[in-house]
Amino acid sequence: MVRTIGLLFLVIASTLLGLCGANSAPADAQQSGSGQVWSLTTPFGIIYGIIGREVVDYPTARAAGTIVVSTGQRRLYYVLGGGKAVRYAIAVGMEGYAWSGVSTVTAKREWPDWSPTPGELKRFPTLPRHMAGGADNPLGARALYLGDTLYRIHGTNEPWKLGGGVSSGCIRMSNDDIVDLYNRAKIGATVIVQR
């Protein structure tokens, strides 16, 4: 039985690697948003993939440590300096909830608790009033709190939604990416959210 399951896993993995290639989405994959998330329908169900973070050329006069969110590109850039930045895939606010402006990172939390805002509870009255941090929590593995706003840059337990406009204004990242950003970003870092 174990051998059969192992063999089946190898066949599936080989098939997927043949379709997907080592570092790219399958040619026939469905693209979402600006391309960060792909899905592929197979006989075994839908398989999702996320195009991961990468260091890119990013000429800017902004100081190293600045976070720049491009809601139109569905990308977040962490400025490294020397014309480079780490680029991450993100999800942004749904239509009517997107915002732009300048803030600062005022707090950082690991596996943060979540309490929906009054606006979220009005739109979605069946939401829990409070949820302890953990794998099922919609804030994911880490959160960076922005100024005195209700907005955060945080992880997600729904990574297939990356690339979309799905939140109430918060910036969502995969849990792997928010952990990476959390480890880089400092309290007091400037955050610029722009189209």
Catalytic residue positions, numbered: 154, 170
Residues 6+ apart with CB under 8 A from 88: 53, 75, 76, 77, 78, 173, 177, 180, 181
Residue 45, phi-psi category: left (phi > 0), alpha (psi -120 to 50), beta (remainder): left
Strand ordering across the sheet containing 45-50: 30-32, 37-42, 45-50
Q: What is the DSSP letter of 80?
A: E
CA angle 138, 166, 153 (to 5 degrees): 55
* Cα gap 103→94, rounded to integer Å: 20
Contact 182, 109 (CB under 8 A): no
- Three-class SS state of 184: helix
Q: Which residue has the tokens 């990242």?
A: 173
| Per-residue CA distances from 73 to 34, 88, 89, 138, 194 (Å) | 6, 11, 9, 23, 10
